Chain A
Amino acid sequence: MDFNFTDEQTMLRDSVGRYLSDTYTFDARMAAVNGDSGWNPGVWKAFAEELGILGAPFAEAHGGLGGGAIENMIVMEEIGKALVIEPYLQTVVIGGGFLKAAGGALADAVIPQIIDGSAVIAFAYAEPQGRYNLADLRTTAKRDGAGYVLNGHKAVVYAAPWATHFIVTARTGGSVRERSGVSVFLIPANATGITRRDYPTVDGARASEVYFENVAVGADTLIGVEGEGLPLVEQVVDEATAALCAEGTGVVRKLHEGTLDYSRQRKQFGKAIGEFQVLQHRMVDMFMEVEQAVSMTLMATLRLDEPDRARHVSSAKNKISRGARFVGQNAVQIHGGIGISNELAIGHYFKRASMIESQFGDADYHLRRYESLMD
């Protein structure tokens, strides 16, 4: 057993962490969030060129750093700590995840664009009726000559306004919720027939409702095998969920640290509020949630290639969803009034924590999934 990072992994963590703490300040983040485009393409460029992290999980043959899930975990935890809005999760973890798994010409073409920062990917999978069920799809892709024609509506597609490509799940066959008949496509975001309604999200990102109306695409946009895409979707979403757990770990860590600092400075009744035992115990409970988030993220990440991957990922996400709520709410509580002010970072960490809770399934969903997979 070995829980140590390699030297390269430690360097990756340190360089991303240093870059973000130097340049990705809370004020800089909020300026991007409140700007017209809602993100900072300069940061993306720096991710690609200065840090090279957009290649972290890709093979050297594609120009990547030759890493994998652990590298994604490292980057995502730093992203959580700095509340980064730029779409590493969607582009590198999810987009990259599909392309790595599928391989072939599409992977050879697009992975280098991810690595050099020119491709930004959004994942259009959820639908208004489908909740967290990846197979609940009404979007269709009908065979048409050599290609396909897509029709449907995808809900709350994070990063869609910034994307150059969408990864879209659609039915090439089967009925709504059937396991078979699901296919996955990588489609240029500007394809004819795609319309978006863009909006900000409560946690500072941008997302869209994405509508596909007779969008004609070539057969070369298909990822994997037609009609057999669901296991691949489940695998990549599990990888993304593990990465999200890492982000959540970074977020709760900062919530806890910020609260601890504040409780040492803030004085009421002639002493630091951190001296009140009831708050001390609360911060101890928060600390224990943070430690368990680290543990569960590591557990899930290291088991992504095991046959019972799904159960392990659901156990991590369930635990981290619950922990994120506990830590977030108590960070606000211990800050008192200023915890609910939009002017301080702490409230924004709380908001992100609250969205991480339900992204790719909330605590109940993952508990239910865990139960269904339990021996």
Chain B
Amino acid sequence: MDLNFSPEDIAFRDEVRTFIADNYPAGLKAKSEEGEELSKADFLSWHKTLAAKGWAGIAWPVEYGGTGWTSVQRYIFAEESARADAMRLLPFGLNMVGPVIYTFGTPEQKAKFLPRILSGDDWWCQGYSEPGAGSDLANLRTKAERFTGDDGKEYYRVNGQKTWTTLAQHADWIFCLVRTDPTVKPQEGISFLLIDMKTPGITVRPIITLGGEHEVNEVWLEDVIVPVENRVFHENKGWTCAKFLLAHERTGIAGVAASKRGVERIKTIARTEIDSFGDDAQPLLANPFFKRKVAELEIDLTALEFTELRTLAGESSGKGPGPESSLLKIKGTEIQQRITELALEAVGHYGAPYFRGFGEGDNEHPIGPDYAHRAAPTYFNMRKTSIYGGSNEIQRNIIAKMVLGL
């Protein structure tokens, strides 16, 4: 047992650190500091830089263009990215549909889709949830009926509605779970389809969330025609892909590296904010009430970090991500949410102004410190983390059943 990095790991860390420092777009950094919403081009600029370096497919096998990094190297990359406040690449192509395709796809599907996922040329979104199928995903109703076209080829005609589809407004492709057999047990009649978002019959309608963000959408599918070769794995065996993907979605969801930065940011805010009480005035971080909460948060984060490291060590010795990853999801999201709570507490009165409504301003009359502008919207928005990716209640059910055997 050894907690230290090997000399090779340290050399790798230095390489990553230098690369990020030299290449991370300054404009992007400024935007995330200002709390501005990122545009499609913003998301893609870092993706393309990493792709050019061969570092986009972090967890992908080398044969598909991935890095082939060890779990320690992946850990180091996440740490260094967070340390530099570099954004995480979106998961929908790289961590979700990509692994499904290289695990279950045909050679043609691999050739067609994988390079464009890596390069960022195709933007993917995830069409799982429906109005009636959230936690109970297998209850999905979007149906795909098979027919032979006039050209003699096989197609599906897809009808239904997906919802909560993250960033579908930018997407070139959506991977969908659809019902291909309504007569069997729900899990046994589902197929996994890749659908071009430009296909006629697809409508995307925005859903605005609590902080005013346009992050999620409804996606309506009306007589959308999809070639059968866009189905991954066997007909009615889509649930196998879905479950595989959910397990993948959960690794990395702990977000330890980003949370470490989050804690650092809170400390910076709390060193700047003055806590005035009676005739005392001191930095907020010197207030024992606040300081204790930050200390507790750090301890929880350390516990999460070492639990994740144990899981990673298990993975590199061949065990796939198991139901234990539910623990990482629950504790990881609780910590992410706690960070936003403390940030909002720290900024005091300046949590209330709604920065999207500031309009034309001037530096002479600023509305509180910059770090306060997004404290409340971020706090509101991060409530999503205990809801999506399998709610924390569902994750507890999984642990109860799969780990504890209840």
Binding site for B on A (CB under 8 A): 126, 128-133, 135-136, 155-156, 158, 177-179, 195, 197, 199-203, 207, 209, 211, 267-270, 276, 278-279, 325, 329, 332-333, 336-337, 339-343, 347, 350-351, 354-355, 358, 362, 364-365, 367-368, 372
Contact = CB atoms under 8 A, between A and B. Distances in A.
B363 to A, nearest CB: 11
B185 interface: no
Interface in B335-374: 341, 344-345, 348-354, 356-359, 361, 365, 367-368
Interface in B82-140: 129, 132, 134-136, 139
Given A211-B365, A278-B396, A365-B277, A341 B350 contact: no
Interface string B273-295: 11111111100000101100000
B210 A340 contact: yes
Contacts of A365: 277
Contacts of B276: 129-133, 136, 177
B207 A368 contact: no
Contact of A340 (B209, B279, B349, B358): B209
Given A202-B377, A340-B209, A350-B210, A133 B134 contact: no
B212 interface: yes
Nearest to B393: A278
Given A177-B276, A199-B358, A156 B353 contact: yes
B354 A201 contact: yes
Contact of B345 (A336, A339, A343, A364): A364
B306 interface: no
Interface stretch (B144-152, B241-249, B383-391): B383-391
A202 B367 CA distance: 14
Given A177-B279, A199-B358, A337-B388, A156 B383 contact: no
Contacts of B273: 131
B313 interface: no
A212 B194 CA distance: 61
B275 A336 contact: no
B191 interface: no
Contact of A199 (B275, B278, B354): B354
26 contacts: A130-B276, A131-B349, A133-B277, A135-B279, A155-B349, A158-B352, A201-B354, A202-B351, A202-B377, A202-B380, A207-B352, A207-B353, A209-B367, A269-B136, A333-B383, A333-B392, A336-B387, A337-B384, A343-B208, A347-B210, A350-B383, A351-B380, A355-B351, A358-B345, A358-B349, A364-B290
A129 B272 CA distance: 10
Given A131-B273, A337-B388, A358-B349, 15 more contacts: A131-B349, A135-B278, A136-B276, A199-B359, A202-B352, A269-B135, A278-B396, A332-B383, A333-B392, A336-B135, A337-B384, A337-B387, A341-B210, A343-B208, A351-B380
A133 B345 contact: no
Contacts of A355: 351-352, 376
Given A126-B349, A368-B277, A202 B387 contact: no
A5 to B, nearest CB: 33
A360 to B, nearest CB: 10
Contacts of A195: 365
B381 interface: yes
Contacts of A368: 277, 289
B81 interface: no
Contacts of B359: 199
B73 interface: no
Given A126-B349, A131-B348, A354-B379, A197 B134 contact: no
B100 to A, nearest CB: 23
Contacts of A179: 279
Contact of B361 (A197, A268, A270): A197
A38 B280 CA distance: 38
A351 B378 CA distance: 12
B214 to A, nearest CB: 10
A129 B274 contact: yes
A151 to B, nearest CB: 15
A351 B164 CA distance: 20
Contacts of B209: 340-342
Contacts of A126: 349
A341 B131 CA distance: 13
B163 interface: yes
Nearest to B381: A340
Contact of A337 (B164, B275, B396): B164
A223 to B, nearest CB: 23
A270 B139 CA distance: 9
A268 B139 contact: yes
B394 to A, nearest CB: 10
A30 to B, nearest CB: 12
Given A342-B209, A355-B351, A202 B383 contact: no
B134 A128 contact: no
Nearest to A136: B276
A333 B391 CA distance: 9
Nearest to A153: B365
A202 B135 contact: no
B387 A341 contact: no
Given A177-B276, A342-B210, A201 B353 contact: yes
A336 B390 CA distance: 10
Given A155-B350, A278-B393, A340 B387 contact: yes
CB-based closest 7 A-B pairs: A200-B357, A133-B276, A268-B136, A136-B276, A156-B349, A364-B289, A202-B376
A199 B357 contact: yes
A354 B383 contact: no
A358 B358 CA distance: 21
B197 to A, nearest CB: 21
Given A342-B208, A354-B344, A201 B135 contact: no
A115 to B, nearest CB: 29
A257 to B, nearest CB: 20
A16 B403 CA distance: 53
A270 B138 CA distance: 11
A67 B380 CA distance: 38
Contacts of B281: 129, 133, 136, 177
A358 B351 contact: yes
Given A129-B276, A336-B391, A329 B349 contact: no
Contacts of A341: 207-210
A268 B134 contact: yes
Nearest to A206: B357
A201 B381 CA distance: 16
A337 B393 CA distance: 14
A148 B348 CA distance: 30
A47 to B, nearest CB: 23
Contact of B352 (A132, A178, A203, A336): A203
B13 to A, nearest CB: 37
